[in-house]
A = this chain, B = another copy of it.
Amino acid sequence: MQTRYFTITDYPTGTPERELFKLREEALAELAEGEVRVRNAWLSVDPYMRGRMSGVKTYIDPFELNAPLQGAAVGEVIESRDSRFAVGDKVRHMGGWRDIAQLSADQVEALPSIEVPDQAYLGVLGMPGMTAWTGLNIIAEMKEGDNVLVSAASGAVGSLAVQLAKAKGGTVVGIAGSQEKLDWLEARGVKAVSYKGKNAEQLTAELHDACPDGFDVYYENVGGDCLVAALNNLRVGARIAVCGMISRYNDTQPVEGPANLAMILVRRARMQGFIVFEHWDNYARFLEEVGPLVAKGEIEYEETVEEGLEQTPDAFLKLFTGANKGKMLVRL
């Protein structure tokens, strides 16, 4: 059986070009004992993947050149040599960027049985959703009534973060770009602030207007001017969860850090980076808490879907131009 996959042959500098990604086809080896073969139905593309294209080990190993890229995917078992999986089982695994994945059964998990579309396990009930939940609850220790600021608030992570924060009863402010994204936030009771065409000073003033008492929690996705403006609007004892700095992923040289970092001291604030994969022990707790809300429609989520394996690199690159609303997915 053949598999078609994307690979890269070099580590890019700056924003990757479409030409970086090569589609290859090769024959799969015969299935070994303990392995399963999965026909992927949905592929996930996520901003963190840019970090794996840098060629240096950050918090995760770089992608191997000329080997299939990796990422979350959902599919159906089409052949199994492991007693835990049968043909027809719906599963999630990290063998994305390809149509047919062949993996050790240890690296595959059955989809939970909550009544949601399969691809929800790549988004709102997958890594992005778990990232939002972990950042707010485990890292930032969000409490009832906390005022919460979320940057990249209409993205896959941010859009869940604002809804989880909203449920705690405080003022929730989301930063986003386009009018459509801002409208989506406002419709959910989130005060929406646009970063477009604004410097850090203007953004500082707008955040202050949106929440004059300041923020107890800042969910940091972005870096840059949003971070500067957020630091200026912290309450005493604020907690910042840093789950990514998407505005920096394609930078080719160091850029200025926030000149007002001393606000960490002035407001006795805490800033903490985290990688959701290291908190996966909490996944069952997250699923128990958030799964039913998603199934009942109390938490909404958006998807931006590209069609066909060939579109995977384009879907990935759109993450950095703000073209997606909610989770960016590829349907095979």
Contacts and interface: CB of A to CB of B under 8 A. Distances in A.
A267 B273 CA distance: 7
A256 interface: yes
A261 to B, nearest CB: 4
A254 B260 contact: yes
Contacts of A278: 268
A266 B273 contact: yes
A243 B254 CA distance: 26
Interface in A195-234: 223
Contacts of A243: 265
Contact of A245 (B258, B262, B271): B262
A223 B262 contact: yes
Contacts of A269: 272-273
**Copies of this chain, count:** 2
Interface residues on A, range: 20 to 34
Chain B CB within 10 Å, residue with most, of A260, A267, A268: A268
Interface string A150-161: 000000000000
Contacts of A248: 262
A170 B266 CA distance: 30
A257 B254 contact: no
Interface string A12-54: 0000000000000000000000000000000000000000000
Nearest to A236: B59
Contact of A274 (B255, B261, B268, B274): B268
A58 interface: yes
Nearest to A269: B273
A272 to B, nearest CB: 4
A223 B270 CA distance: 16
Nearest to A248: B262
Contact of A58 (B245, B266, B274): B266
A242 interface: yes
Contacts of A275: 265, 268
Contacts of A1: none
A210 to B, nearest CB: 22
Contact of A257 (B58, B245, B256): B256
Contacts of A258: 257, 261
